[in-house]
Each structure stands twice: as C-alpha cells, then as structure tokens.
Structure 1
Amino acid sequence: MKFALKMLSVAVVAVLPQWAHAGAVDQLHQFLGSTRTLRAEFSQMVIGKGGRKPQQSSGLVAISRPGKLRWDIQKPYPQLVVGDGEKIWIYDTELKQITVRKAGQAINGSPAALLSGNNDLEKNFTLKDVGEAEGMAWVEAMPKTSDSGFESVRLGFVGSDLKAMELHDSFGQTTHIRFSRLERNPVLPAATFKFTPPAGVDIVGE
C-alpha cells in the first residue's frame, strides 16, 4: 500500500542515433518526449530500513500520457492503482479498501510524474546525470517540494530503453524496479484506465 500510494509508473518510437552519445538527462527528455503510451511487465523489490527481509512483487504497468496510468501488482498479493486523469484509485484487495485521490495531488512531485506527467520535469524536479552502473546510464531526480514522500528517484537507461527505477523514500526504504517486455506507443483500450469500485468495499478519500 505504501509503495502504491507513491508510485503509481515510461518509453520511444525509434532508436535515435544521437542517443548513443546523449547524457542520461537528455535520454530521459527524449524518451518521454517521444512516448505517448507504454505497456510493460515489472518486478520490484522493497528493501526496508535496517536490512529487513526484502519484499518482492511483480505485475503489469500501462501509461497514457499525460495523466493516465495503471499499475497492477499481481504477485504475491494483488493490488491495483488506476489513474483516469482526474482521480487516482488505489485498490488493496487484501484489506478490501479503496483510497481515492485527486490526480494532481497524487501525482505532482511524485515518481509517477516522471512517467505519466507532462514534459515540464524541471518544474517539479532537479535532474542530474549520476554515471553508469549495472550496465545502465542513470539520471537522478530530486523533488523540489518537501511533501512528495520520497527523497530521490533514479532511472536507468540502456541505449534508448528505460530499464530500471530506484526510489528512496522518506521512511528509509529503497524500491528497486526493473522493466521487461516494454512496448512503446501501443494502442491501449480506454477501459485500461477506468475503474469501477467492487460492491462491499470501503472507499476512503475523495
């Protein structure tokens, strides 16, 4: 639930020759500038403060920019985040509870804004190249507001492909996300970003 509240979240149409020489910040700008929709599989690992046992999960992500997203955790415990551009629905099936937030409040200054927001990244983030590691070129985004819920997020690129995200939150947790089978600019059904609350589920928020 904690990750879903701050995550909610990517892609390009062609491999551009200049990417081989671009810095990671330029890669991020070009990547988002040439991406309208994306669909991918993801795996994530949350490492708690103090070296507690990592929590692992996996699922599917879909994004339609600007503002629409679907973050569907399928294993080990189902959890769903859906944003329709106006509201964000966070459905915890285990707790049988839905949290609803206005899209602007939930996304601005969050990691989701890097992937599903508009291209005005420097309005909410300070971006910088932070070198290469694990075969990827990394860019770090630092939020300009103190209430974003996280301290930094890093995005890892291999050529023109976004392969990874790493989030460091305000609670000392680190979330490692790896993307696979990423499709750039697929046609996504409108139903992907619509959510109808199941009967008998508690709804909290807007």
Structure 2
Amino acid sequence: MLTLVKNERFTLLKNKLRRITSSAVIVLSLMTLSNAAISADSAAQEAQNTTPKNELKIKLSKLVSYSANFSQSISDISGKELQKSSGTLTLKTPNMLRWETQLPDETLLIADGTTVWNIDPFVEQVTVIKQTSISQNNPLMLLVSDDETQWNTVIVENKQSRFVVTSKNENANIVSLIIEFNGDELTRLQSTDRQQQKSLLVFSNIAQNESVSPSLFSFDIPKNYIIDDQRSQ
C-alpha cells in the first residue's frame, strides 16, 4: 500500500515542482534584484529621480538577507482557493534561497547560486535543475540585471507601501507582481500568472539583513535517494 501511495506521489511530483519553483523563483528574483538593482555609487543619483521604478530599485538594494515564516494561498481566476501551504524561507544575496514547506507536505528547495535542489523526503527523491533554467520564460526575471533595457520590460507603479510590477510582454508566465513593504521590511508578495491564477505569500517572524549561515544553502544527497538530474536538459 505504501508503494502505491509513493508511486502516486511520484506522478504528482512534476506538477508540485512547477508550483514550488514558480513561487520560489519569484522570491529568488527579488533577492537577485536586490543585489543588482542599483549600485551604491549611483544610489544618490537615482534618488534624485523619484520614479516608482527607481524607488523600487533603491528599496530592493537594501535587502541583503532575509529569513521568515511564510503562509501561501493559491487561488484561481474566480477567487476559489486551490492550495494552502506554510513553511520557512531563508535568502541571501547573491541568488541563494532555502524554501522549506512544512504543510501540507514536507518539501525542501535549495538554490545555491548555480543549482536548484528540490527534495521530497516522502518519495526519497531529489530533482536537480540549473538555476538559470527555472527563470526561463519568466520576463520578470529579466530584472536580475541592472541593465536599464531589462527594467524597461516592466512597468512599476507605487501605491503607498505596495509596488505593482507589470510585464509588458503579453506572453509572460508571470504577468504581474505586487511587492509590499513595512518601511524597508518585505512583508507580502502576490503574483498573477497568465491563467490569472494568484499566489499570495504573507511573511511573519521576519529577520532582515541578519547573519545567515552558508550551510543552509547546501545539500548532501542520501545514498538511498532517487536523483532526477535535469541539468543537461
């Protein structure tokens, strides 16, 4: 019976990986943004030009590391809730993420800067992906560069404590992203995809710009784990 349950879980793994990586990519993109959005030398100059886009660049430039609990709700175009989850995340520039889901299932996703490791302890499997590949077909990830042409692919609006980032590409997988702050502290993220499915992340117990151990972003694969290495694809 356990084998049948594991097999069923295994068939759902790709769909779950897609959802997890979609949410994780959004968070990871913000850390990449914070690292590349604006240099210290140009901060004063950008501050003179108080457009919403420049305000977001400056805000993100202050985000170096981040740890928090998260609750996530995914809903369809009608507002019906499809999935709820909760867990913890830790981020550190440049490009490192630890995304750990505790409910409804235990999963772990680690991005170490070059490789993404998606670990499912129940089926004892780890899926290995190039970190650059999960950002493909996501125009919002073009913002990882401080190249102004990349920022020109989106429209940024400032609505009090919220920044609304909208892709100009009608074929984008993520069409809009709402980033909410309390002062300089990141508190909420909401994304909308091309099918109008919404993902809301709410953060609590936040520790921003505190020391983070590099060991959190590494993973030793147990000998009994199945390895699905997709880095050559």
The TM-score with structure 1 as length reference comes to 0.76
Q: Which amino acid aligns with 2:150?
A: K
Tell me how far 1:23 sits from its aligned partner. Answer: 6.2
Deviations 1:17-76 (A, max 9, x none): xx9xx6653442122212222112211101134444441111111111121111111122
The whole-number CA distance in structure 2 between the counterparts of 1:109 and 1:164 is 24
Tell me how far 1:188 sits from its aligned partner. Answer: 1.0
Question: SS of 2:132's equivalent?
Answer: helix
The whole-number CA distance in structure 2 between the counterparts of 1:112 and 1:41 is 24
Q: Residue 19 of structure 2 corresponds to which residue in structure 1?
A: 3
Instruction: Determine if contact 1:6/1:111 at 8 Å carries over to the other structure.
Output: no
Unaligned runs of 5+ in 1: 13-18
The whole-number CA distance in structure 2 between the counterparts of 1:157 and 1:77 is 29
Instruction: Determine if contact 1:35/1:184 at 8 Å carries over to the other structure.
Output: yes
2:186 counterpart of 1:170: no
Superposed counterparts of 1:62-73, under 5 Å: 62-73=90-101
Tell me how far 1:87 sits from its aligned partner. Answer: 0.5
Q: Which amino acid aligns with 2:20?
A: A
Q: Residue 58 of structure 1 corresponds to which residue in structure 2?
A: 86
Q: Residue 189 of structure 1 corresponds to which residue in structure 2?
A: 213
Q: Residue 156 of structure 2 corresponds to which residue in structure 1?
A: 128
Instruction: Determine if contact 1:157/1:163 at 8 Å carries over to the other structure.
Output: yes
* C-alpha RMSD of the superposition: 3.2
Which protein, 1 or 2, shows the higher relative CO under an 8 Å CA cutoff with sep ≥ 6? 1
Tell me how far 1:84 sits from its aligned partner. Answer: 0.7
Alignment partner of 1:47 out of 75, 79, 92: 75
Question: SS of 1:129's equivalent?
Answer: strand
Residues 192 and 102 of structure 1, relative CA distance in 2, 3 Å threshold: same
The whole-number CA distance in structure 1 between the counterparts of 2:168 and 2:123 is 31
Identity across the alignment (%): 23
Instruction: Determine if contact 1:6/1:149 at 8 Å carries over to the other structure.
Output: no
Instruction: Determine if contact 1:107/1:113 at 8 Å carries over to the other structure.
Output: yes
2:150 counterpart of 1:105: no
164-173 or 91-100: bigger deviation: 91-100
Unaligned runs of 5+ in 2: 1-15, 35-46
Runs (4 or more) in structure 1 with deviation over 6 Å come to none
Q: Residue 39 of structure 2 corresponds to which residue in structure 1?
A: none
Instruction: Determine if contact 2:139/2:169 at 8 Å carries over to the other structure.
Output: no
Question: SS of 1:98's equivalent?
Answer: strand
Alignment partner of 1:140 out of 165, 184, 206: 165
Residues 33 and 118 of structure 1, relative CA distance in 2, 3 Å threshold: farther
Which structure has greater helix proportion?
2
Q: Residue 31 of structure 1 corresponds to which residue in structure 2?
A: 59
Which structure has greater strand proportion?
1
Q: Residue 203 of structure 2 corresponds to which residue in structure 1?
A: 179
Higher-Rg member (1/2):
2
Residues 103 and 130 of structure 1, relative CA distance in 2, 3 Å threshold: same
Q: Which amino acid aligns with 1:128?
A: V
